[in-house]
Structure 1
Amino acid sequence: MNKYLLIIGLIFISYSSFSQILVNRDPKIAEMVSEISSDSLENYVRNLASFTTRHTLNTNTETGMPAAQEYVLAKFNSFSKNSSGRMTAQIEEFVIPADGRRITEDSPAANVIATLKGTDPNDKRIFIISGHMDSRNKNVMDAEGIAPGANDDGSGTAAVIELARVMASREFPATIKFVAFTGEEEGLKGATYLADKAKEEGWEIGAVLNNDIIGNSSSSGTLIKDNLKMRVFSETIPANETEEMARLRRYTGAENDSKSRQLARYVKELGERYVDQFEVKLIYRADRFLRGGDQTAFARNGYTAIRISEMNENFYHQHENVRVEDGIQYGDLPEFMDFEYLRKVTAVNVAALSTLSQAPSQPEEVQINVRGLSNSSTLLWKEPATGKAIGYYVLMRETSSPMWEKKFYTTDMTLTLPYSKDNYFFAVQAVGENGAESLPVFPVPLSR
């Protein structure tokens, strides 16, 4: 009997040891995650909501959008003092052309941008973290009425400010831009201006993490209360897809492997690695149903961009005038936000952004050999153009799986796996000296 129990015990111990999942956290990134403060976030949100309105077309320098922009600029400048001169900030002015819809005449506008310059002069990559600071009422043309915009998108703007605070004193090889857009509610005007500027000037944008409506954990209508989940939206088919890109996508079955989809998976993996008791849900849409956000402007120009948003929206406090009606308080007020939830979402951002910014760039010319029929799969690639890779992960998942399921490490630039390319998808990512992983690259066929 005792011998039988011993055998059962050994089986249980063996099963338990193999079922454990090892979580490796970089202490420096974990430290940044721990420094994200719900109190700081609440302070930013309440200050932003204290302006009468942050409507894009409001020009009041004391209570309107210009005053709010000066507030964000002042926060950025205060953090820059800890950056040894690497962080600079500015209000970048531009003109929104009349569009015959929400902009009736050419109108002045501005984005507020803090730039944390990378420490590697050979690293030209730029990573953008963003939120939009403009607010609105039910009537999007109302530029004077009270519009606190606490959650939409004071929450995203607060996250951007907090990341600038936490990251300013740290060093990253790549450059990071912390951006508070304007004109989102009028048709993504600020984001379009910056995305077009980036394209014209040839910026090497590695990724755009756009945060929009990230500070509420309870829904209207369904009355769900849940501060344990957030959403990441990513496009399936690239907005700038050419016919050649479409042909290759259909040929390889890569409908679920756009660059933005790879970024979404990356945010989920890094977010859940560093933020305890929090789940990042992948939503297979570029944005909410029939809606859009600032990431769209960058996606249209071919950049890798995603939208980060809360899991359950409350429409009593979104695009509504401040009022009480039938016993219900409407309006986007700070008292309806969950600042601990906002802390978690912001922490996911810093985990992903800091890892991206210190990782090597992606492997170059990633291919999968299809020269002959085989039940094994051979991948090959070239080293990243930027940064030093000490090794590579070849990622694998079943075709029905949303996330990469296995990682095979190698220091070579080719790897053959005993798994059929008919049944699995693969990708390759570079690994830096500090263990930071690049974004994965989906392979193209090598046929001759």
Structure 2
Amino acid sequence: MATLDVGNRSSDNATEAHIHTAFRTCSQALAAHNFTMPALSPTMTEGNIASWKIKEGDSFVAGDVLLEVETDKATMDVEAQDDGKLAKIIVEDGSKGVTVGSRIGVLADTDDDLSTLKMPAEESAPKSEKKSAPPPPKEEAKSSPPAPSKSKSSSPKPAETSPSKSKPQNKKYPLYPSVEVLLHTHNIKADSVNATGPNGRLLKGDVLAFLKEIPSSAPQQLGERIAKLSHLDLSNITPAAPKSSPKEVAAKENPKIEEAVEVPVELSVPVSLSSILQVQKRMSATLGITLPLSTFIARAIALANEDLPLSSRKAPTADELFDHIVGVSKISKSSSSSKDGSFKPQIIALPDPSAGLGLAKKAAKKIDPFDAILGRGGKQNTTMKTKSKVLESLGPENVFSLSVVKGTEEEKRAKVFLERVKSLVEVEPGRLVL
């Protein structure tokens, strides 16, 4: 019977504790009860209260959001499990570092009168005492000499000297698993170890330095090294020389361009048409055929343009480029090769004293009416048809002239052309008939 009574008593105590600590607002709970900071994750030790969604005295039903809690990972809503009423808010909005299990408010039943309701005592103190109760046996075990499972470095001396100078772990962040294992294994409080990690976090090296398993200065040296390497060192870099502006570059190149400007020069040779006139009279007397003077001069220009020395600077023609791309022939770059020219000299007739002014007046009167209507009667045409008409009025003495670039091989070719024309017209007029 004694055993049965003890079991009944223990069962009753467990039931009362369950009813007292559970988050319930049913009619069985006749008094207000504390609302503690919930643990929203298995590793959560503390959190921040972002805001309360209801005010003191407001009623709520199951599923309503009571408040928002911020953790280091996310912001989550805390919902009510049963119907009830918020009797009092203990921890206001914006509070940070609220420990899990500490009282943040008081809840009551929906029908309770808050003016006469008795507020319960804070339960966080007993819980903290219960949580802090286990360490004393650990300290006794820590101070006891026979401790085969613990290393020699876990002596109480570093723990006594370090708290005065230590910088505790930032409570905003949870402990790393490796740090928690070391603290639990050696019975060390986190606040007694100097935290040298980023944002005040406690690292494994800090605990090892506290246990004197590594040099005490190693965590600080490592932190300084990481901080130094996290920034780019530009002390040994010298700035590059300033680049010149596009205007300066263009100004430097302009003299070269000015030097390459091509200056034209006019080459002229006096040519007598007396030999051609004599051949023309002989043909008319013997054969009864009169060839116009333009035919002789055109034939002389064509023969003079044949087989002229090719300029090494001359660009290849379109036909040569096409043949080179197709692979039929290669573009010749030799200056010794030759090619027909395309010179067309300008012929200026000199006045003939023996002919007088009659011929000049007659030539002046031969103007095409169509040119006179269009106002082109006084202009010099460049077509071969117009030249043939003008050539008929040429006298014995004339000047053949060409305009070429000075100082180039084209000037040499032009001189060879004019000499050939002079030789054909004055010395070899018979070749112009064949």
Sort the TM-score into its range (normalised by shorter chain).
under 0.3
Q: Which has the higher contact order (CA 8 A, sep 6+)?
A: 1
**Higher fraction of strand:** 1
Provide TM-score, normalisation by structure 2.
0.20
Provide TM-score, normalisation by structure 1.
0.19
**Higher fraction of helix:** 2
